[in-house]
Amino acid sequence: MMPRRVTIAAWFGLLWLSGCSAPFMLTPTPDAEELDSLADQQPVEEGGIELVQDATAAVGKNWLKIEGVALVNGLDGTGSDPPASSLRSALIGEMQSYEVSKPQQLLESTENSLVVVRGYLPPGVQKGDKFDVEVVVPPKSKTTSLRGGFLMRCRLREMRVLDNAVRTGNVAGLAQGPVLVDSIFGGSEDVVLETRGRVLGGGQSQITRPLGLALRGEGSVRQSALVGAAINARFHRSGVTGKSGVATPKRDNFIELAVHPRYRHDVAHYIEVIGSIALRESPGERVLRIESLGQKLLEPTTSARAALQLEAIGDDAVHVLLKGLAAPSPEVRFYAARALAYLDREEAAAVLARSAADVSAFRWHALAALTAMDHVAAYEALNELLHVASVETRYGAFRALRTRNAADPLVRGESLGGGFGYHVIASDSPPLVHFAKVERPEVVLFGQQQTLVAPAFLFAGKEIMIKASDDGRLRLTRFAAGDHPDQQEICDANVDQLIRAIVRLGGGYADVVQAIQEARRGGYLASKVVVNAIARSDRPYHRSDPEAVEESAEATDIRVSGPVPELFADRLEKSDEADGEKAKYSPDQIDPLPDADPSAESSFLGRMTDWFSR
């Protein structure tokens, strides 16, 4: 098996070192024609004060979809020779272009399967950043399962079909790693779920996607400098040469933005705050505007926009935002606290913790804001949230703490078998086992002593069986092929010892997930078992019932201003139609594609094979 994998890896290594022959993206600034398309849009002034968003349009805040065709190796006879198709031709063509020996034989082996791969690069991604990728067996393939497979290194690009011709970009990402099929997390052997899966953290960005602002109208050097100066008066960052502003005018109609470190996990909010900065304002005008915004902050219907502008003003507006923390409306308190958190004010922590625990619509934004804070009050608030009843809040607090400082002994955990992260949290809340489906394979136990009843039998993968021993403990047996002896482990009947025993027998993340889920379904485990308890973007808030907690998903009153922070986004779960704002002003295109049909925004490989259909 391994020699075959090495052989395939060699030609994939050649594959990713090269670019493509028909690039249409990846320039550092937007095309002039794209910027000129803003010429007929005029500023909209509010209260006589022109804001950055009135003079500009944000560039590069979309998620960039990248795709490729690849090979999954190491299957246990469940692969197949792909039928004649454009996908097969594309894969063979790449193999032949690098003089791969006998590519047809590789594809014919049942140890291999052709797959299509996709991933999303978030706004502001830096070269080298990791991201998740999805792998799917195309229609008409006879592959029955990708379980246990390994995605060979492949190149991912942006792809589009225009005028019956394929346009591809330069290599934007690389991907490889072990495949976790969706059926593992679903606890079933559904045929469809067996033929699609993810490689958690298996993608690596090969580009840095700059954020920027395109000036409305014709633009000018003077206007570009004015916008840049206004932004840099509010935001700067430290570097080896000292402090510098985050805005760099590149052309008379384009300004590049660096992401301020405090906003690196919530870029969408950062763009909103940048847009709320005033372009021209005297000290007297600012005093009057702060007073006016203070009144709007206390009104729930206008609090979101007022808080953004007050956050954009900065320290001069803190005294007004502090008044918002005492407002009777949870909505007002939340928006005021979020703004104060990004100003690193201690007072924000307790209010945000309450918002995260009690109101699901505010949860993800509140946790992201706590993550951004440097103050010890935020750390203490997140620590307390590890003990609340809400599963989402507990795991969200864990993610926030690990993002703040992965070396913190509270959340550092360990790597079991080199295959997945393992964390045991001393929590006072009901026992919980959480499995991650984003970012990296990860098991988190909330509660140190989680016991289970010794089962009649359970399985951890195809080779490990778990049964009760005579003394009520657990006996794990790994069955070996041929003349090799079976391996055995005996451990106490608790979740921690069971997971460690599975790993000692050579089991991996998928085997642990299966064993725990079977124990839960069989009634042997009382602990709650949850997969991927992270953000949904459809969480409403009932303004008519401000004291309500854990709002109903059927409510339609309002939703929090701004999308789910990148810290908690699972982009692979979203459909193509949920891409949000498209790359109309993307700096990552050379060809502006002005005549492209809107349907061209959907996946190229998806349109070829309809594999994105659900």
In angstroms, rounded to a whole number, what is the distance separating the alpha carbons of residues 87 and 346?
Answer: 55
CB count within 10 Å of CB 451 equals 16
Strands 442-446 and 420-425: parallel
Task: Give the Cβ contact number of residue 139 at 10 Å.
Answer: 11
- Distance from the first to the final alpha carbon of the chain: 34
| Rounded Cα–Cα distance for residues 395 and 433 (Å) | 10
137, 146 Cβ separation under 8 angstroms: yes
d(C-alpha 430, C-alpha 389), whole Å:
7
Distance CA 52, CA 43 (A): 9
The pLDDT of residue 103 is 82
Among 401, 490, 488, residue whose Cα is nearest residue 444: 401
Q: Residue 482: what pLDDT?
A: 74
- Cα 213–chain centre separation: 24
Q: Residue 304 in 3-state DSSP?
A: helix
| Tokens standing for residue 337 | 């606290």
* Contact indicator for 268, 123 with CB cutoff of 8 Å: yes
Q: What three-state secondary structure class fits 515?
A: helix
Q: How far apart are CA 119 and CA 156, in angstroms?
A: 8
HEC per residue, 368-419? HHHHHCCCHHHHHHHHHHCCCCCHHHHHHHHHHHHHHCCCCCCCCCEEECCC
The DSSP line for 44-86 is: --BTTB-BHHHHEEEES-SPEEEEEEEEEE--SS---PPPSSH
The secondary element (H helix, E strand) that includes residue 442 is: strand 442-446
Q: What is the DSSP letter of 258?
A: P
By CB atoms closer than 10 A (0-12, 13-18, 19+), residue 410 is middle
Structure tokens, 462: 């195809």
pLDDT of residue 356: 95
CA distances from 341 to 1, 113, 325, 326 (A): 53, 49, 12, 15
> Tokens 């008066």 identify what position?
233
- How many residues does the structure list for the chain? 614
Which secondary-structure segment (H or E) carries 501? helix 495-504
Pairing of β 211-215 and β 173-178: unpaired
Longest CA pairwise span in the chain (Å): 87
Give the 3-state secondary structure of residue 173.
strand
CA 164 to chain centre: 33
Residue 311 near residue 318, CB atoms below 8 Å: no
DSSP state of 18: S
User: Sign of dihedral through CA atoms 516, 519, 522, 523?
Assistant: negative
Q: Which two tokens stand for residue 566?
A: 């990148």
Put the strands of the sheet holding 442-446 in their side by side order.
414-416, 420-425, 442-446, 432-435, 528-531
| Token code pair at residue 57 | 């349009």
Give the global pTM. Answer: 0.83
Note whether 2 and 71 are within 8 A (CB): no
Pairwise CA distance, residues 174 & 514, whole Å: 29
From CA 493, how far away is CA 515, in angstroms rounded? 13
Query: For 130-154, how does the pLDDT look when each residue is reduced to its tens digit (9 = 90+)?
Result: 999 999 999 889 999 999 999 998 9
Sheet holding 474-478, edge to edge: 458-460, 464-468, 474-478, 487-491
Are the C-beta atoms of 75 and 154 separated by less than 8 Å? Answer: no
Return d(Cα 513, Cα 492) in angstroms, integer: 19
Would you say 566 and 267 are in contact if contact means Cβ atoms under 8 Å apart? yes
C-alpha distances out from residue 327 to 303, 324, 333, Å: 11, 5, 6
Q: What value, to the nearest 5°, has the Cα angle with vertex 582 and ends 580 and 587? A: 135
- Cross-strand pairs, 65: 120
CB atoms within 10 A of CB 603: 18
Please name the residues in contact with 304: beta carbons below 8 A apart, sequence gap of 6 or more: 335, 560, 561
3-class DSSP string for 236-248: EEEECCEEEECEE
| Residue 95, token pair as written in the block | 């193999």
Joined tokens for residue 379: 């750390």
Pairing of strands 165-168, 159-162: antiparallel
Amino acid of residue 381: A
Low-confidence ranges of the chain (pLDDT < 70): 1-47, 97-98, 161-166, 187-189, 240, 537-538, 544-558, 561-562, 574-614
Q: What share of the chain is helix, strand, coil (3-state, %, to 5)?
A: 35, 25, 40
